[in-house]
């Protein structure tokens, strides 16, 4: 159980986040696929406010999502809080890489919706990391787009992309879907490039 599906607390947070989004002029356009497992990629990631917008979108869609966090965050005494917020600990010291760890967790779960910011930072970057593609391809789950249109204050969600084994061909197609999105802060929008690193 996470913050997104806790009785009493989750409905209250859903109402509160919905009110805040309406007051701020933001809306969600679309819906998520009725699938038990997939990866959501959100972009462009341009502002510290993206996290609050992300929470509003997730509560609006009534889905329970997970995110990756370094293993040390999940130690006592506050580790329970990060688990409750949907965190999944990843240990970079393990012999198995981050991708393999996430694929294993996905295979062991009945439902698994993982959220990733493919740019890896809110600061300006010229390249996208593609670990999300490796995870989706190896776990045989689709990638779902969450596009932030800061100009129209709209989060456009629901476009599904099924990754192939050819990441070189897939990445330009995925990034093209975000071409006209500005993010909350358009000045930090990422140029359309990507890198070959796994993580």
- DSSP assignment of 76-124: TTTHHHHHHTTEEEE-TTSSS-HHHHHHHHHHH-SSEEEEE-TT-SSS-
The label of the residue with tokens 């993010």 reads: 183
Q: What is the pLDDT of residues 154-195, one digit of tens each?
A: 999 999 999 999 999 999 999 889 988 888 876 655 554 544
Sign of dihedral through CA atoms 109, 1, 198, 166?
positive
Host H or E run for residue 147: strand 143-149
Q: What is the pLDDT of residues 93-111, one digit of tens each?
A: 775 688 999 999 999 999 9
How far is 45 from 51, CA to CA, in rounded Å?
Answer: 9
User: Quick one: pLDDT at residue 138?
Assistant: 96
User: Quick one: pLDDT at residue 8?
Assistant: 95
pTM for this prediction = 0.87
User: Quick one: pLDDT at residue 166?
Assistant: 95
Q: Which of 32, 38, 67 is nearest to 163 (CA)?
A: 38
Q: Which of 148, 174, 172 is nearest to 160 (CA)?
A: 174
How far is 67 from 50, CA to CA, in rounded Å?
Answer: 14
List CB contacts of 146: < 8 A, sequence separation 6 or more: 40, 41, 42, 43, 57, 155, 156, 157
User: Quick one: pLDDT at residue 194?
Assistant: 44
Q: What is the pLDDT of residues 31-86, one digit of tens each?
A: 999 999 999 999 888 888 888 899 999 999 999 999 998 889 999 898 999 999 99
CA atoms within 13 A on the CB side of 55: 16
């Amino acid at each position: 159980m996470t913050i997104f599906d806790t009785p009493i607390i989750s409905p209250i947070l859903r109402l509160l986040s919905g009110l805040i989004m309406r007051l701020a002029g933001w809306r969600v356009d679309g819906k998520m696929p009725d699938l038990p497992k997939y990866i959501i990629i959100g972009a462009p990631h341009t502002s510290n406010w993206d996290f609050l917008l992300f929470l509003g979108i997730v509560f609006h869609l009534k889905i329970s999502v997970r995110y990756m966090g370094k293993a040390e965050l999940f130690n006592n005494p506050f580790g329970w809080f990060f688990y409750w917020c949907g965190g999944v600990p990843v240990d970079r010291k393990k012999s198995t890489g981050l991708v393999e760890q996430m694929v294993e967790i996905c295979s062991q779960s009945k439902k698994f919706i993982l959220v990733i910011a493919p740019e890896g930072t809110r600061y300006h970057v010229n390249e996208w990391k593609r670990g999300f593609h490796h995870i989706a391809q190896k776990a045989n789950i689709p990638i779902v787009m969450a596009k932030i249109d800061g100009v129209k204050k709209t989060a456009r969600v629901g476009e599904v992309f099924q990754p192939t084994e050819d990441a070189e061909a897939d990445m330009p197609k995925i990034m093209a879907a975000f071409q006209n999105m500005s993010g909350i802060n358009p000045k930090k929008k990422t140029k359309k490039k990507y890198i070959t690193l796994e993580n």
